[in-house]
Amino acid sequence: MKELIILSGKGGTGKTSITSAFASLAKDMVLCDADVDAADLHLILNPDFKLSYDFIGGHEALINLEKCTQCGRCIELCRFDAVKDSFEIDPIACEGCGVCVDLCPEAAIDFPETLCGQWYISDTRLGPMVHARLGIAQENSGKLVSLIRQEAKKLAAKENLDLILTDGPPGIGCPVIASIGQANAVLIVAEPTVSGFHDMERVAELARHFNIPAMVCINKYDLNLEQTQRIEIHAQKNNIVIVGRISFDPAFTEAMIQAKTIFEYNKDSQAATETRQVWDAIVSLPAFNAPVNNIQQHL
């Protein structure tokens, strides 16, 4: 089984549009939307929600004011400033560490589980999909990403599907690290801007840090040829495989508005042709077809 993670570092470079386009081309595949903070893949794929599960991400402290003697020990212990002067817990600040719960001399602090979101197994016209929705202002997005990737693997094994296409989150922090561990390869969708270059460089460094083979494609490459070349030179120097360039094409936005992939919207558009070339380049790469490195799982 192979798993390809689509990342970008910078947001808005076209990860989701390109992931959905690949879904039109790939066969025998499970889709996984690991951008649990702001998932968008479902807007194109219009999933039929088959199964829905609660995600219990952790616990949250809750002071029982009847037992509380206001000794102030919890305020003193809390490193997240989550205990207010009124001896109530600020749920947004609470990290769920439970230190106050364990060390309250009156045992006046409860520690109920918190519902941090939902995750789903759905059917789409292009294949099964595992996706999630992290509750607003919730923690533990990394844990939820790990969970849905695990479920996508189970589903792929059960349905005898050979590929998992994972739409990753932006950035390089906790949810991104959770999304790349033990993947076959990472595709970085870069845009030819100074910030696109900067962010691509950092996410490529992250992939290298975790020993995951990286490839790069440049989306909207004709917006700035100088920056496009700069990205490609950086890639060459750093063992990142360049899998192609995709033009700036309003067809991507038009397709999105109609909830279609670029191939469903206009398979003859320039961007569609170039996206197909990128996909062909990816699937023919040895790195993509090699067994997964036995790397240490970090999260």
Partner 1 sequence: MIISIASGKGGTGKTTVATNLALCLSNKVQLLDCDVEEPNAHLFLNPVFQQKEPVFAPVPQIDLEKCTFCKKCMDICRFGALAVLKKDVMIFENLCHSCGGCFEVCPENAVIEKKRTLGIIGHGSVNGMSFINGRLDVGQVMVPPIIKKVRSYTNPDLITIIDAPPGTSCPVIAAMNKADMILLVTEPTPFGLHDLKLAVDTVKILDIPCGIVINRAGIGNDEVNKYAEKENIPILMEIPFDKKIAQIYSNGQMIVDELPEYREKFLALFQKIAQLIEKGGQK
Find the shortest distance in angstroms from Cβ 191 to partner 1.
8
Burial track 279-297 (b if 16+ CB lie within 10 A, e otherwise): bebbeeeeebeeeeeeeee
Find the shortest distance in angstroms from Cβ 174 to partner 1.
4
* Nearest CA among 117, 131, 118, 119 for reference residue 45: 131
Which of 25, 145 has the CB closer to partner 1? 145
CA atoms of 18 and 25, how far apart (whole Å): 11
Find the shortest distance in angstroms from Cβ 192 to partner 1.
6
> How wide is the angle at C-alpha 38 spanned by C-alphas 11 and 279, nearest 5°?
55
CA atoms of 220 and 217, how far apart (whole Å): 10
Which residues contribute to the site for partner 1 (CB under 8 A)? 8-13, 16, 37-38, 40, 43, 58-59, 77, 79-80, 92, 95-99, 102-103, 134, 136-139, 141-142, 169-177, 191-196, 198-199, 202, 205-206, 209-210, 223-224, 226-227, 250, 253, 256-257, 259, 298-299
Find the shortest distance in angstroms from Cβ 254 to partner 1.
9
Find the shortest distance in angstroms from Cβ 125 to partner 1.
17
Find the shortest distance in angstroms from Cβ 59 to partner 1.
7
Give 146's contacts (C-beta < 8 A, 6+ positions apart). 178, 181, 299
